[in-house]
Structure 1
Amino acid sequence: MQLTAPASRRTGIRDTDGMAVASFILGLLGLLVLNLFLGPIAIVLASIALWRGTERRGRALLGLGLGVADLLVLAAFMEFDSTISWSF
C-alpha cells in the first residue's frame, strides 16, 4: 500500500509541471497572437501550478509574467489603435 502513495504523488507533481510549462508556452504565444484568450489561460495555469507546488516554479512564474504581459500588450494596442483587434 505504501508503493501506490508515492506513485500517485508523482503523477500529481507531473501534472503541475505540465501546467507550468503550458502556461509558459501559452504566455509566449500570446505575445504574438490571441493575447485576449491566451493571456488569461496562462495566468490561470501558472497560478494553479504554483498553488499545487510545482517543481518547475521558474517556468510557472515566467508563464504568469508572460500572461500579464499579454494583457498589457493588448491594453497598449487598444489604447493606441482604439480597437480590440490589432494588425501588423
Structure 2
Amino acid sequence: MELTAPARSTQRRPGVRDADGMAVASFVLGLLGLLVLNLVLGPIAIVLALASLWRGTKRRARAFLGLALGIADVVVLTVLVHSGGVWSFGG
C-alpha cells in the first residue's frame, strides 16, 4: 500500500489574484505620482488600493503603502498649488 500526501487545493477566491495585481499597481502608481502627474496618479492609486483591500488581497501591506502614497500625492499637490500655483512636478 502506497501512501501519498493529500493534494493541496490551490484554489483561491475569485478576484484575489486581480486584487493582488491592483495592490501592486497602486503602490507603483503612488510612487510614480510623487514624481510626475500627481494630479492623476494619486487618486488612481487610492482607488486601486481601496479596491484591492475590499476584494481581500493577500498583499495588504503593499495595498496600504499604495494608499499612503496616493494620499501623499494629493497632499503634495495641495501644498504645491497653494505655495506656487504648480499643478504637478512633471507638468
TM class by shorter chain equals 0.7 to 0.9
* Letter matched to residue 68 of structure 2: G
Partner residue, 1:32: 35
Q: Deviations over 1:25-70 (max 9, x none)?
A: 0000000000000000000000000001100000000000000000
Structure-2 separation of matches of 1:12 and 1:82: 41
Larger radius of gyration: 2
Which ranges in structure 1 are unaligned for 5 or more consecutive residues? 1-5
By how many angstroms is 1:79 displaced? Answer: 1.1
1:78 corresponds to 2:87:
no
- Matched pairs, number: 82
The alignment's C-alpha RMSD in Å is: 1.9
Q: 1:74 to 1:14 in 2, by over 3 A?
A: same
Structure-2 separation of matches of 1:17 and 1:7: 16
Q: Return the match for 1:68 from 67, 71, 87.
A: 71
Higher helix share: 1
Partner residue, 1:3: none
Identity among equivalent positions (%) equals: 63
Structure-1 separation of matches of 2:88 and 2:18: 34
By how many angstroms is 1:86 displaced? Answer: 4.8
Partner residue, 2:61: 58
